[in-house]
Copies of this chain bind each other. A is one copy, B any other.
Amino acid sequence: MKPNPCLENIAPGYLFPEIAKRRNAYQAAHPDVRVISLGVGNTTEPLFGTIADGLVREAKALATADGYSGYQDEGREDLRKGISAAFYGGKFDADEIFISDGAKCDVGRLQLLFGRDVPVAVQDPAYPVYVDGSVLIGAGGAYVDGQGYAGITYLPCTPEGDFFPDLTKVRPGSLLYICSPNNPTGYVMTRAQLETLVSFANHNGCIILFDAAYAEFIRDAALPKTIFDIAGAETCAIEINSFSKPAGFTGVRLGWTVVPFGLAYDGGGSVNKAWSRVTATIFNGASNVAQAGGLAALSPEGLKEIRALTDYYLENAKRIKQTLEARGIWTIGGDNSPYIWARFPGRTSWDVFDELLNEYHIVTTPGSGFGPAGESFVRFSAFGHHADVEEACARLAK
């Protein structure tokens, strides 16, 4: 039996294994050194009381005749209504919100709405996962180091271009992956930028897959937390979001997509109905325990806990950003996002990574791992315990 040729196109996960390899080699050679990681996007802080209680209560209820529940493929209606109310001013119907086991899994399924013949465009740098679902079903070709997947349109987002893509490169009818607050740059698109994006998509028959997984880190009230703050987005955008980062649910697994009723294929077919069919076919619903936790997170107390948890990581981000800037290093992000994107002109990302590991015993993520436009940058993650970040910053300040 032959392997799936599309699967063979997926580039082996080079970035994080290579980071682990270099870290482990350093640690083995220097067993007494305490290496601190500012490299990964995994949450580290325990759940707060209300949200944890939501999980506990549901787990207990499952042992009772009244509280037991089986398949919940479509997701609890109260959770879907609650998400609409908490994050979208109640403007979406429960059936426009789809509960999932997380944003990455949804990204993997979303390409199935459009198939292998759709042109795909993606921000550069970007979270590597965006295009993988496309490549797996044949909408992208082989990976070329330093260039990305054949057939995918990469859109450099650089400081010189205000981190906004050159949309003239995007073919009409494209699927357009956009992430704001961005991973890895931490940049948050302005209202004007999002308006340009939505207008372009509507005029060129594109659909935006908008990843807003870090929206709850936005503190600047002028910055939109959802693409659906922009008039016209309902006819050109799908939003992907998650409880992972705001509620600390990276391990609990709970996310959602918004697919508005107004989003249509050429000819008028409903994308909402198509997504319902995809998820009914290859998905079986998020865990009932996780859903109860999500519902607790949407209560007034739960939303305060989301605020407190994101504040915790934002404090880390501020500390890292200040430390880097005090050394004269140019950065962006970190004020409305948990990532700081630091520029080291004239150097390669891996060279800077090695210096930070060898001289400061700090693990970061080389920007070039997120795409060609990430070269000469390094990503600092604010996910970590205060004490670790404090020590890392003390080392960096020297």
Shortest beta-carbon distance, A208 to chain B, in Å? 11
A133 an interface residue at 8 Å Cβ cutoff? Answer: yes
Question: Which residues of chain A have a CB within 8 Å of any CB of chain B?
Answer: 1-7, 10, 12-13, 42-49, 52, 55-56, 58-60, 62-65, 67-72, 101-102, 104-105, 107-109, 112-118, 129, 132-133, 136-138, 173, 175, 205-207, 248, 250-253, 265-266, 269, 274, 277-278, 280-290, 293
Q: Which of B12, B129, B253 contacts A287 (CB 8 A)?
A: B253
Question: CB-CB < 8 A to A62: which residues of B?
Answer: 46-47, 52, 55, 248, 251-252
Given the contacts A1-B173, A42-B70, A115 and B7 also touching, CB distance less than 8 Å? yes
Given the contacts A45-B68, A252-B62, A281 and B115 also touching, CB distance less than 8 Å? no
Q: Check if B105 sits within 8 Å of A284, measured CB to CB.
A: yes
Q: Check if B3 sits within 8 Å of A114, measured CB to CB.
A: yes
The 6 closest A-B pairs by CB, nearest first: A108-B282, A4-B115, A52-B63, A55-B59, A251-B288, A70-B250
Question: CB-CB < 8 A to A42: which residues of B?
Answer: 70-71
Question: CB-CB < 8 A to A265: which residues of B?
Answer: 1-3
Given the contacts A46-B64, A48-B63, A206 and B282 also touching, CB distance less than 8 Å? no
Measured in the bound complex, the distance between the Cα atoms of B259 and A87 in whole Å is 41
Shortest beta-carbon distance, A236 to chain B, in Å? 9
Question: CB-CB < 8 A to A290: which residues of B?
Answer: 287, 289
Question: CB-CB < 8 A to A1: which residues of B?
Answer: 114, 118, 173, 175, 205-207, 265-266
Question: CB-CB < 8 A to A277: which residues of B?
Answer: 7, 10, 12-13
Question: CB-CB < 8 A to A251: which residues of B?
Answer: 62, 68-72, 285, 287-288
Measured in the bound complex, the distance between the Cα atoms of B112 and A277 in whole Å is 19
| Best-surrounded residue of A5, A105, A173, A251 (most CB of chain B within 10 A) | A251
Shortest beta-carbon distance, A31 to chain B, in Å? 24
Measured in the bound complex, the distance between the Cα atoms of B396 and A267 in whole Å is 50
Q: Which of B68, B136, B280 contacts A13 (CB 8 A)?
A: B280
Shortest beta-carbon distance, A138 to chain B, in Å? 8
Q: Check if B46 sits within 8 Å of A52, measured CB to CB.
A: no
Question: CB-CB < 8 A to A105: which residues of B?
Answer: 282-284
Q: Which of B10, B71, B114, B129 contacts A250 (CB 8 A)?
A: B71
Shortest beta-carbon distance, A240 to chain B, in Å? 13
Measured in the bound complex, the distance between the Cα atoms of B4 and A207 in whole Å is 14
Given the contacts A44-B68, A250-B71, A289 and B55 also touching, CB distance less than 8 Å? yes
Q: Which of B65, B115, B138 contacts A5 (CB 8 A)?
A: B115
Question: CB-CB < 8 A to A6: which residues of B?
Answer: 112, 115
Q: Check if A286 sits within 8 Å of B253, measured CB to CB.
A: yes
What is the chain B residue whose CB lies nearest that of A56? B59
